[in-house]
Chain A
Amino acid sequence: MDKKRKALCLGVLILIILIIPLFIKDEYYLHILVMSGIWIISALSLNLILGYAGQLNLAQGTFFGIGAYATGLLMQKMGLSFWAALPLGCLLTATIGFVTGLPTLRTRGHYFPIATMCLGIAIYYVIARWDDVTGGARGLFGLPRPDPIVIPFLGTISFESTASCYYLVSFLVFITIVVIHRLITSLSGKRLIAIRGNEDLAQALGINTMRDKVICFTISTFFAGLAGGVFASYMGSLMAENAHFVTSFEMLLNVMIGGVGTIIGPIIGAIFLPLLSEELHFLGGWRLVVYGLILILTIRFLPFGIVGGIRTALAKRHDKRGV
């Protein structure tokens, strides 16, 4: 019964996601939804390494930037189609993740965030100063949207409209959720939870913690690259700021406010925070002050984010009923 109910909920949710563009005619809101999808993918990627393996990676925004620039440059300079550039961009990001993960993941405790933050800043400066390749401070412009897909006898799917990009991003969000959900609910996922809980104990139980951390980090950077690659093609232009560590902190906020270590938390955070930030525009110069205050209060009173808060509230209600 429970399984059936779950499947039904999931079906309804997918249906709602599919028909949303039929009701939202305002391009602007559709654009925000596309951006939310991109932030969902990146928040989930950060949550994999932070929420499950317990490693606070402060270079995730930089990996987003690497994926974005790699995909953009492969399309613009190598003339590749988006459908070839995106996977290659993700693989390149994951390769850089693997290579940089090997030394940084040897550190423990506070040293890993510090190491990755330094890494992020160093790569940011490479992107911002390498004029010949990345366009330096001017950025990259004129990146093409995904090429149309031709389906024999049925016609072509073009990605010029915001609605079509919405479907593309929704599909990629779906893939990301499925892969990460499968990983964390498996026995391999139990190993990640063990590493988060106590790395020494995990080793004493025969878990090759270094190997698992590197694999997890590589997968996590792959999805950060995916979010970046889609962002590049959708926006059509890139600035070095996209790879700045401020991007890492935005992702971190999405994960923390939504609820770290859950699948639904980062999704909620990635939808809610950008919306909040947009809706506060009427405050003018006070926007960032109010935004910051809301974040501080949330962290103070909901240390496990919105999802953690809801869970605690439900548990309390349950206890009261029990008595």
Chain B
Amino acid sequence: MDEYILEVRNLTKYFGGLKAIDNVSFKINRGEIYSIIGPNGAGKTTLFNMITGFIPPTEGEIFFQGQKINGLKPYQIARLGIGRTFQLTTLFMQNTVLENLLIGQKQTREFPVFHSIMSVKRRRVSQSEAVERAHAVAEFIGLGTFKNTMAAILPHGAQKQLSIGLALSGDPDLILLDEPLGGVDMDEIDMIIELIKKIRDEGKTICLIEHKMRVVMNISDRILALSYGKKLVEDLPEVVASNEDVIASYLGDRYAARG
């Protein structure tokens, strides 16, 4: 097996005349927490959208477990084993926590319509397997007590947990988390950080977009810094933190010169 789970090669994306991603290459190692940082508009979410097939790259290639995935549809990429969350918390708001997690199961996404109508046994077996897995995921993400609560009325932090649970529910190898701590209050932050670590300990690889620098520096194995679609630096957290370009792009040139 390859050492890297994901490889992005010379990726470029134009939106009209705007170069959102400019010739970016990087590799994510199996089992690490890899963070992507950069100021607003740096192209982080665009990168996620290209990896998961929601928008096509203008140029460049993406490989997952050695297989080229750009050109595949989002659902095909998800089935290969990439789960993701969205920047704006995206859930099935009118459904309960358990129903949300049930929808994400492998059994659910592939169960044939024909068997749904005609079969008795297969239907029951797949359904009970999926329900069992959904319960397990609910416990894993710490929403065991909220199983029958509608997603829309969960507190914001719990919604974030559920969105991570959805990304996890199809048992992917790589999980892309788009600002899992965005808008979450202090008490809930620790809970979500613990959850992310727990997922890593399960042997999954995590790619993270996050703005809370202290957290990123703390939990990441490696960090990629982007600015205006360009790769500034890719290295260990302490190296990235002391990089002048990174400081300049986050705090402005004045601070970099002074520091």
Contacts and interface: CB of A to CB of B under 8 A. Distances in A.
A65 to B, nearest CB: 26
Interface string B94-116: 11000100111111111111011
Contacts of B12: none
Tier of interface size on chain A: 20 to 34
Interface stretch (A32-40, A98-106, A191-199, A270-278): A191-199
Given A186-B116, A190-B103, A206-B170, A197 B126 contact: no
Given A187-B130, A191-B108, A197 B93 contact: yes
B94 A187 contact: no
B116 A204 contact: no
B109 A207 contact: yes
B103 A194 contact: yes
A42 B108 CA distance: 28
Contacts of A205: 75, 78, 83, 103-104, 109, 166, 169-170
Given A187-B116, A201-B86, A207-B109, A194 B92 contact: yes
B90 A193 contact: no
A312 B130 CA distance: 30
Dominant secondary structure at the B interface:
helix
A302 interface: no
B127 interface: yes
Dominant secondary structure at the A interface:
helix
A201 B166 contact: yes
A183 B116 contact: yes
B186 interface: no
Given A205-B109, A209-B75, A193 B116 contact: no
B74 interface: yes
B123 interface: yes
B78 A204 contact: yes
A220 B94 CA distance: 23
Contacts of B170: 205-206
Interface of A: 179, 182-183, 186-191, 193-194, 197-198, 200-209, 212, 215, 219
